[in-house]
Amino acid sequence: MTVPVVSVLLISWNTREETRRCLDSLRVATAGLPYEVVAVDNASTDGSAELLAVDPRVRLVRNPRNVGFAAAVNQAYRQAVGELVLLLNSDVRFHPGALDTMVEFLRLRPDAAGVSPLYLNPDGSFQQHYVQLPTFPAALTLFTALRRVPGFRSALHRFELRGSDFSRPRKLASGSCMLVRRTILEPDRIFDERFPIYWNDAVLTRTLQAAGHQLWMIPHAVVTHTRGASCRLLGTASRFRHLIGGLVGYLRLTQPGYRVGVFRLVLVADHLVKRLCRRQTMLGWRDLTAALRGDVGPLPDGDLRDWTILSADGSWAAEHYFQTVLGARFDDLRVLLVDPPNPALARRLRVRFDGAVWRASPPALVPFAGRLPVVRALNGWHAARLLRRWLDDRPGARVLRLDETSRYLVGRLNEDELVPVGHRPARPEVLL
């Protein structure tokens, strides 16, 4: 049996078609180099595990629950036997010869510990998918309005490597597709599992650089990267809680304690100012305070389909309305129909599932004079706050389908996408 030169560590979580394209691209990435694919599926519900199970090129580990990206990479690593290890996201597709080029670079450069390729967007344009390790000023800008302040803006641009030259090899790497020598890694793990989704690659890069290892990117090995195929499924609230909570953990490892305190104060102040100015915030207060403690929250399991959020006034049959206006199928996504604020609910949000769609009936904070603009605005704010809290506990991207009765929700549900659908048809009679 041929011993593989490269062990490809592939983590799967509800990206079935991306995973299929990634595996197919490996066939053209090398002209005969022996490699193995060790895949770990984190309890996908979209058929990803079944796709991997029937592929003869893949050794599959199926987790009964989502253990996170870092822990899954470590699981795959402990099964791998190749002298080179390829960290690979499922939303990466190799161009012909790319893996051979990366391997050859390491063979010709014994001083190089790892190498990453050049990234392209799916439309063929260059993708800036490289960053420096975050400095403290750069960390302050990532989630606050300080990014508009000149000195901090410069720190952010340096972190993002804006204006840098990527036409030649340079010392740089990206954890989405990084080929490293096994000899520089610990024997039983690659990533720090305290960082389940984000910032684990920054911790790894910092550790390797501190040990004197050089990581490179080379422009003549090329991949296409969809970017964020799995992370989008988290939904905005869960994604930002992991981002901020993970960054707090990274700052604890790299900065003195007082700077971690300053970081927390700046994010709290930024949040309060945005709320006072009625600007959208990525996290509610409860999730923000948890993230600032370094608590990233539970890893999502179960139903991760997108949410489509619609308003409905009770006189419409939900299934007729959904199928007529959107022309979609219920098994493609989750639908939340939102009734107008109801004065009879005594400040309690009622959410029920009728077997096809969810229906939310929010309370009215002020149960009288509902025709007054001020009262309508107050009731809309209260209803949106309760709905957002309910959605934040149920990960998934949020698409708000705007009609004339749902304008008060815009910008308040932390929606990932806003789709105007115009006025509703007079009669929902045409079914697909």
| CA 151 remoteness from chain centre | 29
Going by their DSSP bridges, the two strands 214-225 and 177-181 should be labelled as unpaired
> Mean pLDDT, to the nearest integer, of 414-425?
65
Q: Encode pLDDT of 53-92 as tens digits.
A: 999 989 999 999 999 999 999 999 999 999 999 999 999 9
Q: How would DSSP label each residue in 376-402?
A: HHHHHHHHHHHHHHHHHTS-S-EEEEE
- Identify the three-state secondary structure at position 135: coil
Interval 246-264 mean pLDDT: 97
Cβ 398 vs Cβ 417: under 8 Å: yes
Domains of the chain: 6-130+166-231 (3.90.550.10), 307-420 (no CATH)
281 contacts: CB under 8 Å, gap ≥ 6 = 271, 274, 275, 288, 414
Positions of E strands within 121-249: 170-171, 177-181, 214-225
Least confident of 146-160, 374-388, 406-420: 406-420
Residues 401 and 418: their CA atoms lie apart, in Å, by 6
Ramachandran bin of 346, using left for φ above 0, alpha for ψ from -120 to 50, beta for the remaining angles: left
Return the structure tokens found at 198: 């984000």
Calculate the average pLDDT of the chain: 86
What mean pLDDT do residues 85-108 have?
96
Question: Residues 17-50: pLDDT tens digits?
Answer: 999 999 999 999 999 899 999 999 999 988 899 9
- By C-alpha distance, which of 216, 201, 223 is closest to 119? 223
Give the alpha-carbon dihedral of 396, 400, 401, 407, to 10 degrees.
160
Residues 346, 363: contact at Cβ < 8 Å?
A: yes
Do 154 and 54 meet the contact criterion of CB atoms below 8 Å apart? no
Find the farthest-apart pair of alpha carbons in the chain and give their distance in angstroms, rounded: 80
Question: DSSP string covering 215-239, please?
Answer: EEEEEEEEEEE---TTGGGG-HHHH
- Determine the angle formed by the axes of helices 236-254 and 285-292, rounding to 10 degrees: 20
Residue 355 clears pLDDT 80, i.e. is over it = no
Looking at residue 243, what is its pLDDT?
A: 95
pLDDT digits 0-9 by tens, 174-195 = 889 999 999 999 999 999 999 9
Helix (H, G, I), strand (E, B) or coil at 365: coil
CA-based Rg of the chain, rounded to a whole angstrom?
24
Beta bridge partners of 42: 63
66, 301 in Cβ contact below 8 A?
A: yes
